Structure 1
């Protein structure tokens, strides 16, 4: 199966690192990148249905929490797993994200350090929804 991940992150360096690490452990993954939550909602309302959404917690315009809440309340998107990845987060924020529906929350440095475990979990162990559209 090919996998399409919508990556919502305003940091180009983090995106380049993520793309490099993911391609090393799974060549069947395509990353579609947008820079903030507003762009993500536009992409998703335009019919794009990724297998997984990775969202940075701290972004301009619409942050990761606001996007997560939007996804969870969207009839067309609420089935898509959301992974929140961030540079730093408080314990209370971790609880807040999980209560809002996050499927996973990780620190960027940990995810990048052990991308093989991330890929194994999301692309081998977990059943992700099948892609029903192509990127806009």
Structure 2
């Protein structure tokens, strides 16, 4: 078995919670890392999503942790397109079962933020969590985080 553990670190992108409104995204600092993969876990939808009642996951990046701009398709791996404002995933139809999604960041900025942007009415919350896997760090092996 190969050792992936020693080459990765983990950062919270969206704290695990049942959400019915926008999260406050933490800044993910990529200093010292040359790779990042965002893993988004979404439980069964608390509502039946539509074009009006939806959740859009927006990824932004920054050089200074102050001014954030939307990523575009050239900044990512694993997505065919990126919507306005950095939308990397949108829930606009029924999401009846839990699922996980991932996409790689290859842009050149130091900081990332992932926002779960809620629109419409969400009377019942939807379970959501996201982490950033940080790899190819300058210091190996990575410190344990257990």
> What TM-score, normalized by structure 1, do the two folds share?
0.29
Higher relative contact order, structure no. (Cα contacts within 8 Å, ≥ 6 residues apart):
2
Structure possessing the higher radius of gyration over alpha carbons: 2
- Higher normalized helix content (fraction of residues): 1
